[in-house]
A and B are shown apart, each in its own frame.
Chain A
Amino acid sequence: MANVSMTVNGRTVSGHCEDRTLLVQFIRENLGLTGTHVGCDTSQCGACVVHVDGKAVKSCTMLAAQADGSEVMTIEGLASGGELHPVQAAFREHHGLQCGFCTPGMIMSAVDIINRHGGQLDEQTVRAELEGNICRCTGYHNIVKAILDAASKMGDSAKVAAE
């Protein structure tokens, strides 16, 4: 059994879990943060994407024990004080979702894309960067529109230095 501590959405949390517990299980079942979804469980669909130490990863393909000591951000950590994050607002504005199952992972990936590329995104880059996120409803069109709009509104100030 592992004793795991990490910072999740700015809050220090700890828990006791089996060594084989996946990060997504720990987030959903130990912490009760069910915004992070499990779609395929085979590392392909991206519904479980969270940020670990500032980078988008598939939380179904990382052990909770591997994330011990890390900073984790989930979809629940994006909005501040009841105000949607600009990417969340853009997904609503552009109807970037239908059933909504992939949306938490899409939005966490989108924030990561904008962090890395800043406001100077083009459609081709967004589509290539969404390689690891599958949506079976929208055909991606409105998702891409939402990300481009959020990127331009957030501007280059959004770019987080990777160094």
Chain B
Amino acid sequence: MYATNYHRASSVEDAVKLASSSDEAKYISGGQTLLPTMKQRLAAPSDLVDLRHVSDMKGISVDGGKIRIGAATTHAEVASSPDVASACPGLAHLAGHIGDPHVRHLGTIGGSIANNDPAADYPAGLMALGATIVTNTRSISADEFFTGMFETALEDGELIVAVEISAPASCGYAKFPNPASRYAMAGVFVARQGDGSVRLAVTGAGSDGVFRHAGMEQALASDFSPGALDGIGVDDSELLSDIHASSAYRANLVKVMAKRAVSAAG
């Protein structure tokens, strides 16, 4: 790891100010992706602004059907939250299957989506749930937030403060993890709203990161059952192909995981 300067932020304003003092500063929350990347010398921020002690960015609150999760809330906290489990069980399941227990004790929802790894779990969940990403300056819809592989709509220095979700009528997540890394080779989150509309998002498979599948959404809106997906094809021309799986294999996995996600949603 190259040398860096560590700063501990005490508030959102403090964090933004600390980060703006250097062109090469990065926010660090759980650090479960950033630190391994720095150790490989694939990232070399001059300054790290630690968000773990910003109390305004932590915790989960539910108000009616609205769930607000602070950006510095860990995966373990989301996974074990009774509020999330009752309002949005698919998201609790998703959080409880990221990485391993040690990673879940430190890694955070804000860190995960800011990085937008094409095989991370949260982007699929937030995209399918139509979440709103709240930053220090504005609110961004999930559809507009995730712009491509490792790319988001965040401006330089912009800080994710919280994620807001409206509880769906039902939701489910299923992933096929890479046996070594536990990242998704294909992960599908499906959410059905009270009016019967369905959003379905796929992670791990797309060559440009998380994406929604319109054909599956339409089929599930008229018949919310795994069998409704039988006749739906997944185009493999835009899917990842690597040593772990070909794009054709991933296309099949997407369909299998989509059916499992629908079963899980019930």
Give residues in A with beta carbon < 8 Å to B: 2, 18-20, 22, 41-44, 46, 49, 55-58, 61-63, 65-66, 68, 109, 112-113, 129, 131-133, 162
Contacts and interface: CB of A to CB of B under 8 A. Distances in A.
Nearest to B32: A61
Contacts of B28: 66
Given A20-B3, A58-B102, 8 more contacts: A2-B6, A19-B5, A42-B40, A43-B103, A56-B102, A61-B31, A61-B35, A62-B106
Contacts of B6: 2, 19, 63, 65-66
B192 to A, nearest CB: 28
A20 B5 CA distance: 8
A43, A129, A133: which has the most chain B beta carbons within 10 Å? A43
Interface in B211-263: none
A132 B32 CA distance: 13
Contacts of B4: 19-20
A49 B103 CA distance: 11
B65 interface: no
Contacts of B103: 43, 58, 61, 132
22 contacts: A19-B4, A20-B2, A20-B38, A22-B35, A42-B36, A42-B40, A43-B36, A44-B180, A49-B102, A57-B105, A57-B106, A61-B36, A62-B31, A62-B106, A65-B6, A66-B31, A68-B8, A131-B182, A132-B99, A132-B100, A132-B103, A162-B80
Nearest to A131: B100
A10 B199 CA distance: 50
A46 B181 CA distance: 13
Given A19-B5, A19-B6, A57-B106, A132 B101 contact: yes
Considering the complex of A and B, which 4 residue pairs feature the smallest CB-CB distances, nearest first? A132-B100, A19-B6, A131-B100, A65-B6
A63 B35 CA distance: 8
Contact of A18 (B3, B99, B106, B182): B3
Interface of B: 1-6, 8, 28, 31-32, 35-36, 38-40, 48, 50, 52, 76, 80, 99-103, 105-106, 180-182
Contacts of B31: 61-63, 66
A103 to B, nearest CB: 16
A20 B1 contact: yes
Contacts, number: 74
A21 to B, nearest CB: 9
A153 B166 CA distance: 44
A121 to B, nearest CB: 13
- Overall SS of chain A's interface: mixed
Contacts of A46: 100, 102
A132 B105 CA distance: 12
Contacts of B38: 20
B35 A131 contact: no
A42 to B, nearest CB: 6
Given A19-B3, A65-B6, A162-B80, A56 B35 contact: no
B105 A41 contact: no
B39 A132 contact: no
Nearest to A50: B102
B67 to A, nearest CB: 19
B121 to A, nearest CB: 14
Contacts of B52: 66
Nearest to B38: A20
A20 B3 CA distance: 6
B182 A61 contact: no
A55 B105 contact: yes
Given A42-B36, A61-B36, A66-B52, A109 B2 contact: no
B103, B105, B106: which has the most chain A beta carbons within 10 Å? B105
